[in-house]
Chain A
Amino acid sequence: MTPSTVAFRAILAKDLRAELRTLQSLPAMALFAVTTFVIFRFGLDRTSLSGSLASGVLWATLLFAAILGINRLFVSEREEGGFDAIRLAPIDRTALFAAKAAALLVYLLVLEAIVVPVFAIFFLDSAAALPPLAVLLLLADLGLAATGTLISSMAVHSRARDLLVPLVLLPLVVPLMIAATGASEPLLEMGGPSYERFGTWLAVLGLYDLVFLLVGYAVFDFLLED
Chain B
Amino acid sequence: MSTAIELRDLRRDYGERTVLDGVGFELAAGASLVVVGPNGAGKTTLLRILATLLRPSGGEVRVLGARLPEEAWKVRGRIGFLGHAPLLYRGLSGRENLRFHARLHGMRGEAAEDRIESLLIAIGMERRADERVAELSAGMRQRLATCRAVLHEPELLLLDEPDSNLDEAGRELARELAGPGEGRARVVVTHDPERFLAEADRVLRLEVDGSAALTEGALR
A residues lining the B interface (CB < 8 Å) = 3, 6-7, 9-10, 14, 17-18, 21-22, 76, 80-82, 84-91, 225-226
Check if B55 is an interface residue, CB within 8 A of chain A. Answer: yes
Q: Find the residue from A17, A80, A87, A91 having the highest chain B CB count within 10 A.
A: A80
Contact in complex: B87, A80 (CB < 8 Å): yes
Give the contact stretch, choosing among B31-39, B71-79, B115-123.
Answer: B71-79
Contact in complex: B87, A89 (CB < 8 Å): no
Question: Could you say which of A76, A85, A87, A226 contacts B101, with CB atoms under 8 Å apart?
Answer: A85
Contact in complex: B83, A84 (CB < 8 Å): yes
* Residues from chain B with Cβ under 8 Å of A226 in the complex: 53-55
Cα A159 to Cα B105 in complex, Å, equals 31
Check if B106 is an interface residue, CB within 8 A of chain A. Answer: yes
* Residues from chain B with Cβ under 8 Å of A17 in the complex: 91-92, 96
B-side interface size class: 20 to 34
Contact in complex: B91, A84 (CB < 8 Å): no
Majority DSSP secondary structure for residues of A touching B = helix
A-B contact pairs, 13 of them (CB 8 A): A7-B103, A7-B104, A14-B89, A14-B100, A22-B91, A80-B87, A84-B53, A85-B87, A87-B76, A88-B51, A88-B76, A88-B81, A226-B54
Check if B108 is an interface residue, CB within 8 A of chain A. Answer: yes
* Residues from chain B with Cβ under 8 Å of A84 in the complex: 53, 81, 83, 85, 87
* Residues from chain A with Cβ under 8 Å of B132 in the complex: 21
- Which 9 pairs between the two chains have the least Cβ-Cβ distance? A90-B77, A81-B87, A89-B104, A18-B91, A10-B103, A81-B85, A85-B87, A90-B76, A22-B91
Given contacts A86-B104, A88-B79, contact A76 B91 (CB under 8 A): yes
Contact in complex: A87, B85 (CB < 8 Å): no
Q: How far is the CB of B181 from chain A (nearest CB, A)?
A: 22
Check if B90 is an interface residue, CB within 8 A of chain A. Answer: yes
Known pairs A7-B103, A9-B103, A90-B73 / 6 extra A-B pairs, C-beta < 8 Å? A6-B103, A10-B104, A80-B85, A84-B81, A88-B53, A226-B55
* Residues from chain A with Cβ under 8 Å of B91 in the complex: 17-18, 21-22, 76
Contact in complex: A6, B106 (CB < 8 Å): yes
